[in-house]
Amino acid sequence: MKERLEALRTEALQELERVDSPQRLSDLRVKYLGKKGALTEILRGMGALSAEERPVIGQVANDVRAAIEQVIEAKQAAFQQAETENRLRAETIDVTLPGKRPPSGAVHPLNKVAQEIEDIFIGLGYTIAEGPEVETDFYNFEALNLPKDHPARDMQDSFYITDEILMRTHTSPVQIRTMRAMDGKTPVKVICPGKVYRRDDDDATHSFQFNQIEGLVVGPNIRMSDLKGTLLQFVQLMFGRQAQIRLRPSFFPFTEPSAEVDVTCVQCGGHGCRMCKHTGWLEILGCGMVHPRVLEYGGYDPEKVSGFAFGMGVERIALLKYGIDDIRHFYTNDLRFLGQFVRMS
């Protein structure tokens, strides 16, 4: 019996030596050590042994089992390690490869300029007010002292929805809405950004829809010099410390006196070039002292308070700031154009 056990050991170890797959290994385990395996088969004959032989053979059988098990375990560990290595190799990623960058969006240049203007005025203590784009004749015209025969009230110039309702033609109606909401309190110090609509044919400098920013300050003793100082401060923060302004007398129904404001040409610094038509100046906004009748419509006594107002086109400021020659670039969403503003501050 001892010889049979030794022979089994030799055979098993030889066969295990040649094993080449985990499946085969598991088959051999069954074959030699399983319940119906070769070892069990031999041990079944133990009953016929004498009492002296039994422990000796038992010892040999244990040794044989241990030897076979040891080899099986070692093989199993080797297979497992090989599998792990294979998997690691297959799943290797090269962290030095450059990643795929998704194209990133950016703030539209018009919004960027609008935000910049807003930030400047917020820094000067203004708050932001908003109003509806669909406006009544009263707020858009009447309360702003725009007489019935004013050309802006012509069907040809404004988008009317009914006789009394239209797309606002400017952000000035927010002046009236703001004053009324303040209920006679001062100071009023707001800017009102927003879209406005006009029946213009689109071209390099006109669009049926564009953006304006309105400013309004109302309080005791607000003077024209406050307006001028505010605008100079704004222009220098927007276009640089060297920028200067000049005010030209003008007319708006809602301000008296009214002025148009020019800034020194951003291209030539005032020497004269094609951009400023050799005048050295560029027109950037309209302004004035709030008309007494407009203050009254807003619920204020023009004997007690005064105010100034101004209105500017965001597109125009952006055209000047970036030296763009056609307003339509802002609306056509050509990424070659928009991409130029991605990293610009």
| 3-state helix vs strand vs coil in the chain, percent to 5 | 45, 20, 35
Number of Cβ within a 10 Å radius of residue 203: 10
Checking DSSP bridges between strand 245-252 and strand 255-264, what pairing results, if any?
antiparallel
Nearest residue (beta carbon) to ligand DAH:
311
Token digits for 302?
Answer: 């023009």
Q: How far is the CB of 198 from ligand DAH (least distance, A)?
A: 9
Nearer to ligand DAH, 242 or 251 (CB): 251
- In the numeric block, the tokens 């220098």 are attached to 236
Q: What are the residues binding ligand DAH (CB under 6 A)?
A: 170, 172, 214, 252, 255, 286-288, 309-311
Q: Find the shortest distance in angstroms from Cβ 93 to ligand DAH.
A: 59
Specify the DSSP element, H or E, that contains 160. Answer: none
Nearer to ligand DAH, 61 or 171 (CB): 171
Task: Please report how close the Cβ of residue 309 comes to ligand DAH at its closest, in angstroms.
Answer: 4
3-state secondary structure of 312: strand
Residue whose CB is less far from ligand DAH, 126 or 252: 252
Cα 252 to Cα 254: distance, rounded to the nearest angstrom? 5
Backbone angles phi, psi at 257, to 5 degrees: -70, 165
Q: Between 65 and 171, whose beta carbon lies closer to ligand DAH?
A: 171
First-to-last CA distance in the chain?
A: 93
- CB 303 → ligand DAH: shortest distance, Å? 21
Minimum Å gap between C-beta 199 and ligand DAH is 14
9 or 168, CB closer to ligand DAH? 168
